[in-house]
Structure 1
Amino acid sequence: MAHRIASEALVERLIDWGVDTVFGLPGDGINGVMEALRRHRERIRFVLVRHEESAAFMATGYAKATGKLGVCLATSGPGAIHLLNGLYDAKLDHVPVLAITGTQETSVLGTGYQQEVPVEHLFADVSCYNLVINNPVQLPGIVDIAVRTALSRRGVAHLTLPNDIQVADANADPWRHVTPARPPVTAPVYAPAPGLPRASDLRKAADVLNAGRRVAILAGVGARGARDEILAVADTLGAPVIKTLPGKAVIPDDSPFAVGGIGLLGTRPGEELIDDCDTLFMVGCNFPYTQHLPQPGAVRTVQLEAEPARAGVRMPVEAPVIGDAKEGLAALLPLLHPKKDRRHLEKYQEAMDKWRKRMEALENPRRNPVAPQHVIGAIDDLASDDAILTCDSGTVATWAARHWTIRRDRDFFISGNLATMAPGLPYAIAMQHAFPGRQVIAYVGDGGFAMLMADFVTAVHAKLPITVVVNNNNSLGQILWEQMVLGYPEHGVRYQEPFTDFSAWARACGGHGLKVGRGKDVTKAIKHALGHDGPSLVDIDVDQDEPPMPGKVEYGQARKFAEAFAKGQPRRTTIATTLAKDRIEQLTHK
């Protein structure tokens, strides 16, 4: 029987913590850990990816969807470097991930050895716990500390193991140091911080909310899991609920309290509510675009936030409350006075009815080139009530924000604060692993999909029934419109024609691929893909000139848009025609 190596102490302790999946890509700097995973392959799954960035995105997506620790693995040097984008996604969206990397043998560190990169320095900013393992007996005690830190601080922990330490005897302690960090005899235990806020803070918050005449709730991803409580508080206060994009699944979009989002991806009722409310209740929210929040002093503000350092960062807060959203709202509810006057709520219910009709009008299947709103509208119509939609950054985020309807057990995941391109496909792969019985759909742009498209092969080999829908406008669409809103004609944002055919790639990988170029074929293609028993991809050529207009266009935005036209914006005629079609459809839609 092979002797027990130090890497096994690492892997065994991860198993003790309940880790069942590791996403990664091997290399000569991590072979010892790979051997440990091989020896324990009956108890922990290794998902082989095509790019380390995908591995980090998968670990992040797994953590976002399950609430558990995500784990990724990469070799020394370039492998570790490739993890960083996905790990910053985890850091900025506050999800627990453990990154494991390798490095050169201890005897050659500092000599400029091949692929030698000081990964502990490289990962210093992205991680809340970061350590080079120098002695086998540090494991598994250090694993406990790393995992507890990632879970408690909702961030990235990083451990790197030199090659010689990886394969050393698990009990070796050649230097005879003091007693190392040791795990408890029993299985590891994680005790989360108390979630119930202080009673005095709850009373102060209730006083402010009870005094408000026009209360609005701004709910973020920190309120996930508190749906019933958010709805109960909204009903008691007669308060419409705005949702941030990462918090889209907090309450259903068809709820009588939902008014969509704010900002460039938001709704007109959401934007108007921000200007109209006299009291704002922020729950699990750290919305960064302060230009879309009320002016300081214009409203009274209550904030329920799990992390004390984030309370009051975006808005002056009169009544900060620190605690878990679900527990805090449940404790707050008995202190609130039901508001009998429902005119404030009814005003925004009527506004949302009009908004939904406007959005529905844009989902016209007869439009050619294909309207992107029709694509996501078809996905919304055909997807199951417990479907998971993963989304890339870009114009697809706008269409998903407005046309993907959260109802019942549906979910939605996006790179929130990092807003990076490319996570849609890796997220979907990780979430299909985590929830094999649920429908998982990746809604991605051509730019983001192209970055990590190799991992469609990963889905094929694992026989994962994910569906990828590519919103193919053959451009970096979001940047195109951002350039115009600055008053500049677009430059360097459109790819050469013809449009790339990503469906050919899907078929070449052994998956199911369909190419669509006409609006009337969209629904049939997506329905066929969703019914396919295995990975499928629908590549849809959409209108390049469909602008993701803000829910409420400000005068300054319109003026800059006109300036871009005057300065020689390419394709201004087709853009103007598309805008005119959108307006006509909204006016004539019944």
Structure 2
Amino acid sequence: MEKIASELLVERLADWGVDTVFGLPGDGINGLTEGFRRHADRIRFVLVHHEEAAAFMATGYAKSTRRLGVCFATSGPGAIHLLNGLYDAKLDHVPVLAITGMQGPSLLGTGYQQEVHLERLFDDVAEYNAMVHVPVHIPTLVDKAVRTALARRGVSHITFPVDIQQAAADADPWEIGAPARTPATAATYLPAPGVPRAEDLTRAAEVLNAGGKVVMLVGAGALGAREEVLAVAETLGSPIVKTLSGKAVVPDDHPLTTGGVGLLGTLPTEKAMDDSDTLFMVGTNFPFTKFLPEPDVRTVQ
């Protein structure tokens, strides 16, 4: 059986450690679906009933596992349906890769069935946004898409024309009009250490030490740092308020937490916020400002 270009994409995703994808087959993505079928031993395909669900499931997967979520959809309306879930990933800063099918590039501008310029459509939601032109470039595009999603904690998008999905994996790029081959990089991503400057740490410590009633507000960025969060809260004598996405940072029954904040928040949280003179925000940019303390409250983020 001849190896098809879609298998290059599936194999590269597996190299990156992807073990689950969410999607719905369609005429514009059948080549990729066949690629997943041929490599079902490496990547599990979860069938959904609507493309929007695929995007939300990939986003939920990324939130709960802290790994890359992957979803795919067919051309036109299928791709459009992904957007709602992808904006959830964008606004909650989790890494998701969306793969969409489309008509062959030679048909762009002809009004062919379900023709939508997907690169334009995904330009706002995606940190990385590209179209496959020749099979030989697929590993490179996957590397850039995955690495960008992980580094920027956001959405990457690759649109995959249906004719290229089913092309021979070793198709000569010269025959398709691409005169160069790009080498793939290693399937790995090393996050930057993100160490703040010493003077910034000193200034932050001065603000927190001067506070009489410090409140900690923790979000998804603090997941995995429970012991550190508790140690700081105990040192400062501050209650821990949790955003919805940071709910798992500290158990709800821990004596230091007042619970959630916002529309689903608690009365103890509201009182703690109202009484505070210093706010310490950890791993969150909490946008619902009406639930934050008054503007004159000093803040470290």
Q: TM above 0.5, one fold?
A: yes
Deviations along 1:304-361, one digit per CA (max 9) or x if unpaired, are xxxxxxxxxxxxxxxxxxxxxxxxxxxxxxxxxxxxxxxxxxxxxxxxxxxxxxxxxx
The offset of 1:176, in angstroms, is: 5.7
Partner residue in 2 for 1:222:
221
For the 8 Å contact 1:144–1:183, the answer to whether it is kept is: yes
The CA deviation at 1:107 is 2.5
Q: Tell me the residue number matched to 1:274.
A: 273
Corresponding residue of 1:20 = 19
Report what 1:45 is aligned to: 44
The alpha carbon displacement at 1:5 in A equals 1.5
Report the TM-score, using the length of structure 2 for normalisation: 0.95
How do 1:6-405 and structure 2 match up within 5 A? 6-172=5-171, 173=173, 174-175=175-176, 177-184=178-185, 187-296=186-295, 298-303=296-301
Q: Percent identity?
A: 68
Q: Deviations over 1:400-449 (max 9, x none)?
A: xxxxxxxxxxxxxxxxxxxxxxxxxxxxxxxxxxxxxxxxxxxxxxxxxx
User: Cα offset for 1:33?
Assistant: 0.8
- Displacement, 1:157? 0.6
CA contact (8 A) 1:216 1:239 kept: yes
Q: 2 CA distance for matches of 1:97 and 1:278?
A: 38
Cα deviation digits, residues 85-124 of structure 1 (max 9, x gap): 1111111111111111111122222110111111111111
Q: Is the 8 A contact 1:75 1:102 kept in 2?
A: yes
Q: Return the alpha-carbon distance in structure 1 between the equivalents of residues 45 and 265 of structure 2.
A: 39
* Equivalent-residue separation in structure 2 for 1:239 and 1:51 (angstroms): 45
SS in 1 for 2:246: coil
Question: How far, CA to CA, are the matches of 1:114 and 1:222 in structure 2?
Answer: 43
SS in 2 for 1:139: helix
Distance of 1:118 and 1:177 partners within structure 2 = 21
Q: Secondary structure at the match of 1:246?
A: helix
Alpha-carbon contact 2:215-2:278 (below 8 Å) kept: yes
CA separation in 2, counterparts of 1:59 and 1:261? 25
- Provide the rounded CA distance (Å) in 2 between the counterparts of 1:188 and 1:206: 39
- In structure 2, what is the Cα distance between the partners aligned to 1:177 and 1:246? 44
Output the CA distance in 1 between the equivalents of 2:208 and 2:217. 13
Shift of 1:12: 0.8
Q: What SS does the corresponding residue of 1:260 show, helix, strand or coil?
A: strand
Shift of 1:67: 0.8
CA distance in 2, matches of 1:39, 1:216: 53
- Shift of residue 275, structure 1, vs aligned partner: 2.0
Supply the AA of the counterpart residue of 2:208. Answer: L
Give the match's secondary structure for 2:7. helix
Q: Which has the larger Rg?
A: 1
Corresponding residue SS for 1:252: coil
Shift of 1:178: 4.5
- Once the two structures are TM-superposed, the CA of residue 34 in structure 1 deviates from its matched residue by 1.3
**d(CA) in 1 for partners of 2:156, 2:71:** 11
CA distance in 2, matches of 1:117, 1:205: 49
Cα gap change, 1:249 to 1:19, in 2 (>3 Å)? same
Tell me which amino acid in the other structure corresponds to 2:153.
R
Write the letter of the residue equivalent to 1:179: A
Secondary structure of the residue aligned to 2:21 is: strand
Q: Which letter maps to 2:274? A: D
Contact 2:216 2:282 in 1 (8 A): yes
Instruction: Work out the CA distance in 2 between the residues paired with 1:160 and 1:262.
Output: 38
Identify if the C-alpha distance between structure 1 residues 35 and 263 changes in structure 2 by more than 3 Å, giving closer, same or farther: closer
What SS class does the counterpart of residue 131 from structure 1 fall into? strand
Alignment: residue pair count: 299
Alignment partners' CA distance in 2, 1:207 and 1:279: 11
Rounded Cα–Cα distance in structure 2 between residues aligned with 1:165 and 1:109: 14
Greater relative contact order (Cα 8 A, min sep 6): structure 1 or 2? Answer: 2
Question: What CA distance in whole angstroms lies between the structure 1 residues aligned with 2:234 and 2:73?
Answer: 49
* Mapped contact 2:19–2:42 kept (Cα < 8 A): yes
Describe the superposition over 1:103-161 as per-residue Cα deviations: whole angstroms up to 9, x where unpaired.
11222221101111111111111111111111222111111000001111111111111
Residue-by-residue CA offset, 1:177-232 (whole Å, 9 max, x unaligned): 44333213xx5121111133222211111111112122111111211111111111
- 1:520-531 alignment, distance < 5 Å: none
CA distance in 2, matches of 1:176, 1:88: 35
What residue ranges of structure 1 are gaps of 5+ in the alignment?
Answer: 304-590
Letter of the aligned partner of 1:206 in structure 2? A
Equivalent-residue separation in structure 1 for 2:30 and 2:105 (angstroms) = 15
CA distance 1:3–1:285, shift in 2 (3 Å): same
1:292 shift after superposition? 2.0
Distance in 1 between residues matched to 2:261 and 2:162, nearest whole Å: 50
Distance in 2 of aligned mates of 1:212 and 1:79? 52
Q: Distance in 2 between matches of 1:279 and 1:207?
A: 11
1-side partners of 2:14 and 2:214: how far apart?
Answer: 47
The answer to whether the Cα contact below 8 Å between 1:142 and 1:181 also exists between their aligned partners in 2 is: no
8 Å contact 1:220–1:285 — kept in the other structure?
yes
Distance in 2 of aligned mates of 1:217 and 1:88: 27
Counterpart residue number, 1:433: none
User: Do the aligned residues in 2 keep the contact of 1:208 with 1:300 (CA within 8 Å)?
Assistant: yes
Q: Quick check: 2:134–2:178 contact (8 Å CA) kept in 1?
A: no
Query: Tell me, what secondary structure is at the counterpart of 1:107?
Result: helix
Displacement, 1:252?
Answer: 1.5
